[in-house]
Structure 1
Amino acid sequence: MSVFSAAEIDYLRTQPLGRLATVGRDGMPHATAVGAYYDPEDDTVVIGSAGDMVASKKYRDARRTGKAALIVDDLASVAPWTPRGVEIRGRVRTHDSGGAQVGQRLSVPFPMDEAYLRIEPLRIVSWGIDTGSYETHARTVGASVD
């Protein structure tokens, strides 16, 4: 059984662009747009890149802290204003190899770099997916990252 609702999984499968937040060595937050892909094999979200992932700040921050947050959201409509999205906070694992194969398996529309990130959800907050646009569905789904 997934930690995501069926509606959240369907949404994540149709929205491959998200924003990843990490924290730098100096304590400053860092957010960047990323390709995000739900992986049903282990109920995680894969963050891929067409560029050199290992050289990126997000990769270095993820490797150092093991923590990240990801938001995938959009507007279902602008009239009326209808936001929806999913926030995933959790444990992030860095992988130095295998990204190309993972990207092919998940039908990523670009050639993924060998290095990639994988987010294991610990807390999920969604809005406009299983609820109205201004109601949240929030739950803790794993033990905290220390």
Structure 2
Amino acid sequence: MSFSDEELAYLRSQRIARLATVSTDGQPDAVPVGFEYDGTHLYIGGIDPARTRKFRNVRAGNTKVAAILDDLPSVDPWVPRYLRIYGEAELVERDGRFGVGTYLRIAPTVSWSFNLDGKPFGHDDTGRTTRTVHEVVEAG
């Protein structure tokens, strides 16, 4: 499976994600990142990305990553929304949003979405999280 139409619309509406990687000593590291989505992969780039911890973590062989896109369109009423993505990352060379250079290419493996239709949410509500297992797409 892949992202639903609602998840795709949300994914394309967001500009910032939070990306978590893990270092060789097991320390999780989460950072805000800009990203692109090409319909199959997420791409994370930046200015001199090879010097960043996230790139070093993936280069060291820790390829499992987690990304979350979330927002809070209203606090009164409370309206949280998110799309959480687990995936496998690799380093690739490409010409993307941040120019020509090295990017993390993330192949989604599992994702969860919550309240993307933007309904108010309270303590008495039972929110529904949608889980999707993605087809693994071979890089090429």
TM (norm. structure 2) is 0.83
What is the distance in 2 between the residues matched to 1:92 and 1:130? Answer: 29
Q: Deviations over 1:19-41 (max 9, x none)?
A: 0001111101100010122112x
The structural deviation recorded for 1:139 is 2.3
The structural deviation recorded for 1:123 is 0.4
The 5-angstrom pairing of residues 1-146 of structure 1 reads 3-40=2-39, 43-49=40-46, 51-63=47-59, 64-95=61-92, 97-98=93-94, 101-103=95-97, 111-112=98-99, 114-129=101-116, 134-142=127-135
Check whether the contact 2:20–2:65 (CA below 8 A) recurs between aligned residues. yes
What is the distance in 2 between the residues matched to 1:112 and 1:60? Answer: 20
Aligned to 2:124: none
Check whether the contact 2:18–2:69 (CA below 8 A) recurs between aligned residues. yes
What is the distance in 2 between the residues matched to 1:112 and 1:102? Answer: 5
Counterpart secondary structure, 1:26: coil
What is the distance in 2 between the residues matched to 1:141 and 1:19? Answer: 20
Check whether the contact 2:80–2:118 (CA below 8 A) recurs between aligned residues. no
In structure 2, relative to structure 1, the CA distance for the partners of 1:138 and 1:47 (3 Å cut) is same
Structure with greater strand share of residues: 2
What is the distance in 2 between the residues matched to 1:130 and 1:91? Answer: 28
Check whether the contact 1:53–1:59 (CA below 8 A) recurs between aligned residues. yes
TM (norm. structure 1) is 0.80
Structure 2: which 5+ runs fail to align?
122-126
Counterpart secondary structure, 2:87: strand
The number of equivalent residue pairs is: 129
Q: Deviations over 1:79-108 (max 9, x none)?
A: 11111010110111111x22xx222xxxxx
Structure with greater helix share of residues: 1
Query: Counterpart of 2:48 in structure 1: which amino acid?
Result: D
Structure 1: which 5+ runs fail to align?
104-110
